[in-house]
């Protein structure tokens, strides 16, 4: 059996929605297969191997009779979290971290594209956006991937480096969203940062950038 590999996940076959029987019938799953996520083995159900066993003592009404079964389909349910590192200072750089995941009680994503998008507030300018296994476009602040994410796991974080202008407001709120992977809902995370305005001199720091905003005397 050939294995399809990605940076974060390797699967023997595509994952499907998990299902739960709500009748007295017995569902037998044989075999299961394993997704490898960040060096950890995670069992994933392959619906093509599910068989059903009729309860003992249940008689068929006729040779052509049928039995109704009720199934509950467990949907994919993505999550997103966003935070910033340290204190933001006007005239310097700042770093945001965005993490997309899948709820513990959800199904694995279905292999369609998962999209993370960030919307920067006025006063912040994107300098770089990247993440392990993500395809990121700086111009649109969008990162995408389509590898399957099991329930209870997260993709590698997306890191967004920004430049903070000298006239940025004292507080800024940044918004990020995630959708896709079989989840049709757009999930949102926000992060509010306080901007420190420093009136010290405008000497360059060790990276060649202005460490602080220039102070203009009148």
Instruction: Please check whether residues 109 and 174 belong to one and the same domain.
Output: yes
For 207, residues 6+ apart whose C-beta sits below 8 A from its C-beta are none
**Number of folded domains that form the chain:** 2
Q: What is the pLDDT of residue 116?
A: 98
Instruction: Please check whether residues 62 and 109 belong to one and the same domain.
Output: no
Instruction: Please check whether residues 63 and 158 belong to one and the same domain.
Output: no
Higher pLDDT, 22 or 108: 108
In a domain, 216, yes or no: no
Instruction: Please check whether residues 63 and 165 belong to one and the same domain.
Output: no
Which tens digits make up the pLDDT trace of 139-177? 999 999 999 999 999 999 999 999 999 999 999 999 999
In a domain, 15, yes or no: yes
Extended strands (E) in 90-212: 93-102, 114-119, 124-130, 135-137, 142-145, 158-164, 171-180, 183-196
Task: Please report, rounded to a whole number, the percentage of residues in the chain having pLDDT higher than 90.
Answer: 53
Instruction: Please check whether residues 165 and 107 belong to one and the same domain.
Output: yes
CATH number at residue 191: 2.60.40.740
In a domain, 91, yes or no: yes
Q: Determine the structural domain holding residue 149 and report its residue range.
A: 78-196
Instruction: Please check whether residues 89 and 67 belong to one and the same domain.
Output: no
In a domain, 217, yes or no: no
pLDDT band for 31, please (50, 70, 90 cuts). Answer: very low
Domain boundary, last residue among 21, 41, 73 = 73
For 212, residues 6+ apart whose C-beta sits below 8 A from its C-beta are 89, 90, 91, 92, 198, 199, 200, 201, 202, 203
């Amino acid at each position: 059996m050939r294995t399809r590999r990605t940076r974060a996940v390797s699967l023997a076959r595509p994952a499907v929605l998990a299902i739960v029987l709500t009748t007295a019938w017995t569902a037998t799953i044989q075999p299961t297969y394993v997704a490898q996520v960040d060096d950890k083995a995670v069992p994933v159900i392959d619906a093509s191997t599910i068989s059903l066993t009729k309860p003992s003592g249940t008689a068929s009404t006729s040779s052509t009779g049928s039995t109704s079964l009720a199934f509950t389909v467990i949907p994919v349910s993505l999550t997103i979290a966003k935070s910033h590192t340290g204190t933001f200072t006007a005239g310097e750089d700042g770093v945001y971290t965005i993490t997309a995941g899948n709820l513990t009680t959800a199904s694995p994503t279905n292999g369609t594209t998962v999209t993370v998008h960030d919307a920067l507030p006025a006063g912040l300018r994107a300098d770089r956006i990247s993440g392990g296994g993500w395809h990121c476009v700086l111009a649109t602040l969008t990162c995408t991937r389509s590898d399957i994410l099991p329930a209870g796991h997260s993709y590698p974080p997306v890191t967004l480096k920004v430049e903070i202008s000298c006239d940025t407001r004292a507080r800024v709120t940044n918004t990020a969203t995630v959708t896709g992977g079989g989840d049709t809902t757009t999930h949102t995370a926000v992060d509010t940062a306080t901007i420190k305005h420093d009136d010290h001199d405008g000497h360059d720091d060790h990276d060649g950038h202005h460490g602080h905003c220039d102070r203009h005397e009148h």
